[in-house]
């Protein structure tokens, strides 16, 4: 992965931050497992990140994963947009530790607009990833940040937050989403 660094750090032109369109569930691409970023993907990832951030901020959202914009790579961005947080780009993120302690919080998803439900997940998580410069990093997160990281990493495996709910609840939300999407003016 070392070869990625220079390509990612030295854009030859101003980054293209034009918006990407976000897939809405149900969509087969949201259910596919994304493949790891390899050395040859440096240029693609460098071009993708500013557009992922721009699309997330415009939505607005606090996280967005590449499969949600039809890119099957293990890349996601997160920005809780709180006073003490910074935007984070995650390339090939991996969960290396989870707490036994669980926490329940309401989640939503840009691919399931208008739908929210309480999701229970480990309250703390340790994630290993490559940053935008291809540098290997590890972070510990808890609370909202931990939930957001798990939610985005789920997307890379084709998992949506509704998959953490009972089948009854999940189907109710997916039916409601489908109905609202049908009724939405085109």
Kindly indicate which of the ranges 3-11, 69-77, 108-116, 168-176 contains the residues binding Ni ion, using the contact rule CB under 5 A.
108-116
Distance, CA of 98 to CA of 66 (rounded, Å) = 23
Q: Does 147 contact Ni ion by CB under 5 A?
A: no
Distance, CA of 24 to CA of 58 (rounded, Å) = 16
Q: Give the pair of three-digit tokens for residue 84.
A: 């003490």
Q: Which residue is nearest to Ni ion (CB)?
A: 109
State the catalytic residue, choosing from 39, 140, 152, 180. Answer: 152
152 annotated active-site? yes
Q: Give the pair of three-digit tokens for residue 143.
A: 């609370």
For residues 41 and 107, which CB has a smaller minimum distance to Ni ion in the complex?
A: 107
Is 53 within 8 Å of 19 (Cβ atoms)? no
Count CA atoms within 13 Å of residue 46 on its CB side.
Answer: 20
Q: Give the pair of three-digit tokens for residue 136.
A: 């290997």
For residues 34 and 109, which CB has a smaller minimum distance to Ni ion in the complex?
A: 109
Q: Does 109 contact Ni ion by CB under 5 A?
A: yes
Kindly indicate which of the ranges 16-24, 35-43, 79-87, 101-109 contains the residues binding Ni ion, using the contact rule CB under 5 A.
101-109
Is 47 within 8 Å of 71 (Cβ atoms)? no
Q: Does 66 contact Ni ion by CB under 5 A?
A: no
For residues 41 and 152, which CB has a smaller minimum distance to Ni ion in the complex?
A: 152
Residues tagged active-site = 152
Residues in the site for Ni ion, rule: CB under 5 A?
109
């Amino acid at each position: 992965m070392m070869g990625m660094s220079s390509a990612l750090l030295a854009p030859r032109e101003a980054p293209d931050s034009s918006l990407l369109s976000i897939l809405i569930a149900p969509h087969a691409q949201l259910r596919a497992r994304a493949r790891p970023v390899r050395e040859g993907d440096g240029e693609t990832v460098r071009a993708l990140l500013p557009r992922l951030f721009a699309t997330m901020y415009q939505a607005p959202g606090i996280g967005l994963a590449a499969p949600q914009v039809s890119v099957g790579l293990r890349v996601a961005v997160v920005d809780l947009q709180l006073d003490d947080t910074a935007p984070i780009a995650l390339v090939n993120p991996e969960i290396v530790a989870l707490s036994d302690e669980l926490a329940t919080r309401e989640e939503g998803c840009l691919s399931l607009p208008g739908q929210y439900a309480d999701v229970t997940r480990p309250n703390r998580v340790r994630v290993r990833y490559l940053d935008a410069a291809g540098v290997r990093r590890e972070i510990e997160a808890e609370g909202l940040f931990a939930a957001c990281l798990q939610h985005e990493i789920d997307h890379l495996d084709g998992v949506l937050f509704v998959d953490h709910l009972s089948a009854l609840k999940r189907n109710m939300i997916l039916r409601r989403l489908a109905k609202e999407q049908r009724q939405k003016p085109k």
